[in-house]
Amino acid sequence: MSEERSYGRRDLIDAFLATRDGNGYDGYRQESSAYNAALRSHHEGMLGGLERLYGITLSWAGVPDKALFMLFQSTARSLLALTTPWSGFLEAGLLFKRLEAVGEPGARVMAASDRIWARNNESREDHLLILDELLTVFLSDAADRVFTAADLRAAGTDPVPPSTDDFPLYDD
């Protein structure tokens, strides 16, 4: 028997981040607006469902500590602004081939890119840690609660995201 997935603070944070405007957080595909609309709707549903279950709204009016919510929002914006020189490329195969073809300068570019990716990953994890700690303060006694898919469905939310198979890869 497989264990049912549980949903907790990190899922609430992910839904919050994924519903912020103009970002590519959590699976959005630059080339498919139909899929992005369905995914955005899913993330909004998850955010609403988890907020209902936790009894909080992640908004200025909905959190108990306005000063810390300013830091929460700023941390979210900072996390979503993390990029690399490779950000925005749908396919970088040609770039990799060109860098390989130029020899040692290309190898140094790739080594520096690897370091940037690693630092961004570390920064992302630290941002998520800050968001989680602040959310723990906001949720107080409810911070350690976790929910099942059945709990989400009872709160009016389908936890299953849309499948990319149901949407064209590219917009017409």
Of 118, 30, 22, 31, which Cα lies nearest the Cα of 76? Answer: 22
Give the Cα separation of 12 and 47 in Å (integer). 6
pLDDT tens for the chain, 172 residues long, are 446 899 999 999 999 999 997 666 666 676 778 888 888 999 999 999 999 999 999 999 999 999 999 999 999 999 999 999 998 777 889 999 999 999 999 999 999 999 999 999 999 999 999 999 999 999 999 999 999 999 999 999 999 999 888 887 776 6
Give the Cα separation of 50 and 9 in Å (integer). 9
Give the Cα separation of 38 and 167 in Å (integer). 9
Q: What is the DSSP annotation of 77-141?
A: HHHHT---TTTT-S--HHHHHHHHHT-HHHHHHHHHHHHHHHHHHHHHHHHHHHHHHHHHHHHGG
Contact by Cβ (8 Å): 43, 26: yes
pLDDT at res. 23 = 63
pLDDT at res. 102 = 97
Q: Give Cα 64 to chain centroid, integer Å.
A: 24
3 state DSSP class of 21: coil
Question: Taking each helix axis from N to C terminus, what angle separates 66-80 and 9-18, rounded to the nearest 10 degrees?
Answer: 60
Identity of residue 22: G
The alpha carbons of the chain give a radius of gyration, in whole angstroms, of 19
pLDDT at res. 2 = 46
pLDDT at res. 131 = 98
Dig out the tokens for 75 from the structure: 């941390």
The b-or-e profile of 38-77 (16+ CB within 10 A means b, else e) is: bbbebbebbbbbbbbbbebebeeeebeeeeebeebbebbe
